[in-house]
Structure 1
Amino acid sequence: MEEGFTCRDGELSVLLGRQTLNVPPGETVTVARGVIHRFFNATARPVRFRIEVSPGNRDFGDSLIILQGLANDGLTNRKSIPKQPAPMGLVAELGDIWSPFPLSLLNPVVRPFAARARKQGMLQELRRHYCPS
């Protein structure tokens, strides 16, 4: 999927490969399908932004909502990565969010946790708890 990041308030940072783009309010950065990237707030000020995913994908949206809910509940580390491998794997699978090297070494370890958690109904539980409607 292609992603567009539009900053509304503050300054959004988007890392594309080794290049960091600082996106001021009103500006948009579009990331082509398959390009490894991440977005973050490099400042002490809050940032508000909009992500547009094309084609639309409910699972991706739910993965971000679940991740935010886990963070609000203190279930992530300071970098917003879930502390437990099962929810980490489920969020990664759901949103097709996989870490680049060296964190990619964890992907094969986390996937079995996600598969077992899915069979146990954890994904439905996370969606029921964090995703409205």
Structure 2
Amino acid sequence: MKQTIVNPILKDEVTFTQRAMQTDGRITTLNVRLMPGGGPPMHRHRDFEETFIVLEGELTITLKKATITLRAGEEFTVKRNQAHKFGNVSNQPVEFSTVIRPGSTGFENALCILYGLARDRRTRPDGTPSSLIELAVIARMSDMRLTGMAAMMSPLMILLSIVGRFKRIDEQLVNTYCR
């Protein structure tokens, strides 16, 4: 069953077309409508790879030593542990599919939580959670690991995510935004 979530702050939309639970963990597929200027910081995923397939517009993918601009019909796969970021540097929305292998319920839940927190006005203007503990829990849940200078925050983020798990903040967020 398809589900669309909307971030009311960033105006981005995500439609889940295949969830990990529906595919025995093999795949997560989502369609994304990303507004101009949108996209996450440089990061990597240890547990899965991401394939980006542009449906309309232009998507820019930045790697450590290269920048790739994808147009409609083009695709690129980011391997596990490969530092990357993606973004919309154009002045028009971009629509693309993301295929995650293997599928990731944690990634799916993290998106629902982030968009739900935005809907509840519990984020900063850039869409990141206002609570540092919630940010750490969501980052851990989604397997998003920062790179470069931001990676120096990793020990603190790991500690905060452990505290968040101990306080059951992860369960509270999932129960509130993912049911």
TM-score, structure 1 normalization: 0.85
Kindly report which structure 2 residues correspond to 1:46-125, keeping only aligned pairs within 5 A, or say none.
46-125=93-172
* Structure 2: runs of 5 or more not aligned: 1-47
State the identity as a percent. 29
Q: How many Å separate the matches in 1 of 2:139 and 2:78? A: 18
Higher strand share: 2
Give the secondary structure class of the aligned counterpart of 1:75: coil
CA contact (8 A) 1:85 1:114 kept: no
Shift of 1:79: 4.0
1:44 is aligned to 91
Larger relative contact order (Cα-Cα within 8 Å, sequence gap ≥ 6): 2
Does the CA contact (< 8 Å) of 1:11 and 1:24 recur in 2? yes
Quick one: which amino acid aligns to residue 125 of structure 1?
Q
Cα distance, 1:108 vs structure 2: 1.0
Deviates more, 1:67-76 or 1:46-55: 67-76
Q: What are the ranges of 5 or more consecutive residues in structure 1 without an aligned counterpart?
A: none
Measure how far apart 1:60 and its partner are: 1.7
Task: Judge conservation of contact 1:2–1:55 (CA < 8 Å) in 2.
Answer: yes
Instruction: Determine if the alignment matches structure 1 residue 25 to structure 2 residue 72.
Output: yes
User: RMSD value over aligned CA atoms?
Assistant: 1.9
Partner of 2:25: none
**In the aligned structure 2, how far is the partner of 1:41 from the partner of 1:76?**
21
Normalised TM-score (structure 2) = 0.65
Structure 1 stretches of 4+ with a deviation exceeding 4 A read none
Alpha-carbon distance in structure 2 between the residues aligned to 1:68 and 1:39: 18
Deviation of 1:52 after TM superposition, in Å, equals 0.8
Which of the pair is proportionally richer in helix?
1
Letter in 2 for 1:13: T
Q: Per-residue deviation at 1:74?
A: 3.6
Question: What is the count of residue pairs matched by the alignment?
Answer: 132
